[in-house]
Amino acid sequence: MRRNTWETMAEADRVALCSRGLEAIFDEDLKQSIGRIIDDVRAHGDEAVCRAMRDWDNVSLEPHQLKATAEELEAAAVDADVDAAIDDAIAHLRAFNEQLMLRAADWSFESEPGLTVGEKITPITSAGLFVPSGKASYPSVAYQLGVPAVVAGVPKVALVVPPMPDGSGRIDPAVLVVCRKLGITDVFRVNGPAGVAALGFGTATIPQVRKIVGPGSPPVACAQVEMQRYGVATMMILGPTESVVIADDSADPRLAAADLLNEAEHGTDSAVLLITPSASLADRIDIELELQLADLPAQRAEAARAALGANGGCVLVRDLAEAAEVANRWAPEHLQVAVAPDAEAELLDLLVNAGEILIGQHTLFSGGNFVIGCPASLPTGGFAHVSSGITADTFLKRTAVARADATALARMTPTILAMSRHEGFAAHSRAASIRQERS
């Protein structure tokens, strides 16, 4: 692991450590390239979507082939253990999100005599789910996005996924199995950035949606950011993946190394950080990392070395309070706390910026990725400072509701008149005074 000591790092080095990945997403050349794809889809619809597939995925399809057929969805099958795993994961996600929905009920209260205020909570009208494919297949992303949307009650859900990287144009059967189990029938094989644009604009084949979510490569993330200019709501930002492990001398170095490699193997753009007050623990973890890296496929090992080297590494801190300070500034997608049990509660109180916090070495990242039921599509690139993971809440909106009677209006009228005069809105004032005259 690359190793730094937080106390002696220059501020510029701290900034560089914490700004991982964003330069790639907002690179000007990438923005222009993605902008051309977006403009093409806006102008030419399905034709442009098929063109992007030919240019970027080496797959030649006609517009009528973009949508997965009912027969494909019905025939899709996976090994029995994978099918059971999908059922297990969906059950946990349903349980978590159904609990959220119980807490998302309409509410109101009387804020003064005669004035009742509150909120009505409803699902958004439509959602587009982007499921990545390319480096690997991710049916887990399909259920991590699909279950919250279905539980929230979104009436129109469309899912886009790039075809498998073998040039066949096929969609991973596991993704289709997830969609079948969730009742999602609008499933499209589409290049990533073009798929995001197609969902935002709508084409003859792909329905237009109001919100698009899903993790992806820098081009996909860039496309989601750019589509905001056209009034599409997107989540900022989901990908590349990243994780932090905060560990003290009580941690098992073998398990810590395995958990660091969990997210590190995703790609050379991943970023993984160990934060510890113990240099001796870091030494022991380094030894374990070398042993475990030797067992990984070459491509995964290369990715892990980048994630723990140039992109991340180890930060030595004075104590766990400083560890929390570093973690909060880094604001990771995934955060595991591997410290002595009597230190967990105090450390948890200090941690505020993370997509998820997994407590203890039995609560492993892959458990969160696949089955625990908490959100696993989480903000990256430091956006855990201001946003959260994808849950049923992501697909809900809140509408304020108020009712005032004549007594409450009479009490509020002086405030309405004073503010109307101050801001120069005569009609605002008149709307209140005309009622005052009648009373």
**Do 279 and 214 lie in a common domain?**
no
**Do 340 and 278 lie in a common domain?**
yes
- The answer to whether residue 381 is domain-embedded is no
**Do 211 and 244 lie in a common domain?**
no
User: With contact defined as beta carbons under 8 Å apart, do 117 and 111 qualify?
Assistant: yes
Categorize the per-residue pLDDT at 320 as very low, low, confident or very high, splitting at 50, 70 and 90.
very high
**C-alpha 394, offset from chain centre:** 10
**Do 48 and 157 lie in a common domain?**
yes
- The answer to whether residue 402 is domain-embedded is no
Which carries the bigger pLDDT value, residue 33 or residue 240?
33
Nearest-angstrom CA–CA distance, 434 and 266: 65
Q: Is 334 a known active-site residue? A: yes
Nearest-angstrom CA–CA distance, 262 and 275: 16
**Do 222 and 93 lie in a common domain?**
yes
Kindly name the residue from 334, 362, 423, 428 that is annotated as catalytic.
334
Nearest-angstrom CA–CA distance, 205 and 356: 37
**Do 29 and 14 lie in a common domain?**
no
Which carries the bigger pLDDT value, residue 397 or residue 138?
397
For residue 166, pLDDT beyond 70: yes
What value, to the nearest 5°, has the Cα angle with vertex 150 and ends 149 and 155? 90
Instruction: Over range 35-54, report the average pLDDT.
Output: 96
CA dihedral (175, 178, 184, 190) in degrees, to 10, reads -10
By percentage, how much of the chain surpasses pLDDT 90? 86
322: left (phi over 0), alpha (psi -120 to 50) or beta: alpha
- The answer to whether residue 391 is domain-embedded is no
Categorize the per-residue pLDDT at 323 as very low, low, confident or very high, splitting at 50, 70 and 90.
very high
**Do 286 and 301 lie in a common domain?**
yes
pLDDT of residue 336: 98
- The answer to whether residue 68 is domain-embedded is yes
Residue ranges of the alpha helices (H) in 389-425?
A: 406-423
Categorize the per-residue pLDDT at 360 as very low, low, confident or very high, splitting at 50, 70 and 90.
very high
What value, to the nearest 5°, has the Cα angle with vertex 60 and ends 54 and 66? 100
For residue 354, pLDDT beyond 70: yes
- The answer to whether residue 384 is domain-embedded is no
Residue 32 per-residue DSSP state: H
Maximum distance among all alpha carbons in the chain? 84
Query: Which residue type sits at 394?
Result: T
Nearest-angstrom CA–CA distance, 82 and 77: 10
Nearest-angstrom CA–CA distance, 340 and 195: 46
pLDDT digits 0-9 by tens, 73-107: 999 999 999 999 999 999 999 999 999 999 999 99
The domain containing residue 58 runs over which residues? 25-234
**C-alpha 283, offset from chain centre:** 33
Residue ranges of the alpha helices (H) in 332-423?
A: 341-350, 365-370, 406-423
- The answer to whether residue 187 is domain-embedded is yes
Give exposure, 199-218, as e/b (b: 16+ Cβ within 10 Å). bbbebebbeebbbbbbbbbb
Structure tokens at 129: 């789910």
Categorize the per-residue pLDDT at 23 as very low, low, confident or very high, splitting at 50, 70 and 90.
low
pLDDT digits 0-9 by tens, 231-260: 999 976 676 889 999 999 999 999 999 999
**Do 160 and 255 lie in a common domain?**
no
Kindly name the residue from 333, 346, 385, 422 that is annotated as catalytic.
333
3-state secondary structure of 397: strand
Element (H, E) at 324: helix 320-330
pLDDT of residue 278: 98
Average predicted confidence (pLDDT) for the chain: 94
What DSSP line would sit under 167-228, residue for residue?
A: TT-PPPHHHHHHHHHHT--EEEE--HHHHHHHHHH--SSSPP-SEEE----HHHHHHHHHHG
Structure tokens at 171: 């969609």
**Do 138 and 277 lie in a common domain?**
no
pLDDT digits 0-9 by tens, 371-381: 999 999 999 88
Q: How many residues does the chain have?
A: 439
* 240: preceding bond cis by omega (within 30 degrees): yes
Categorize the per-residue pLDDT at 21 as very low, low, confident or very high, splitting at 50, 70 and 90.
low
Final residue in a domain of this structure, among 205, 234, 263: 234
In 3D space, the residue among 282, 287, 289 whose CA is nearest the CA of residue 262 turns out to be 289
**Do 40 and 106 lie in a common domain?**
yes
In 3D space, the residue among 302, 332, 329, 304 whose CA is nearest the CA of residue 317 turns out to be 329
Instruction: Over range 423-427, report the average pLDDT.
Output: 97
User: With contact defined as beta carbons under 8 Å apart, do 403 and 110 qualify?
Assistant: no
* Residue found by looking up tokens 């587009």 in the block: 128
- The answer to whether residue 313 is domain-embedded is yes
For residue 221, pLDDT beyond 90: no
Final residue in a domain of this structure, among 351, 373, 395: 373
Final residue in a domain of this structure, among 234, 251, 267: 234
3-state secondary structure of 141: helix
Structurally, how many domains does the chain consist of?
3
- The answer to whether residue 256 is domain-embedded is yes
**Do 434 and 341 lie in a common domain?**
no
Structure tokens at 236: 């900022």
Categorize the per-residue pLDDT at 437 as very low, low, confident or very high, splitting at 50, 70 and 90.
confident
Nearest-angstrom CA–CA distance, 179 and 185: 7
In 3D space, the residue among 196, 214, 220 whose CA is nearest the CA of residue 206 turns out to be 196
CATH code, domain with 331:
3.40.50.1980
**Do 172 and 291 lie in a common domain?**
no
Dihedrals phi, psi of 256, to nearest 5 degrees: -60, -40
Nearest-angstrom CA–CA distance, 79 and 82: 5
Look up the pTM and report it.
0.91
Residue ranges of the alpha helices (H) in 351-425?
A: 365-370, 406-423
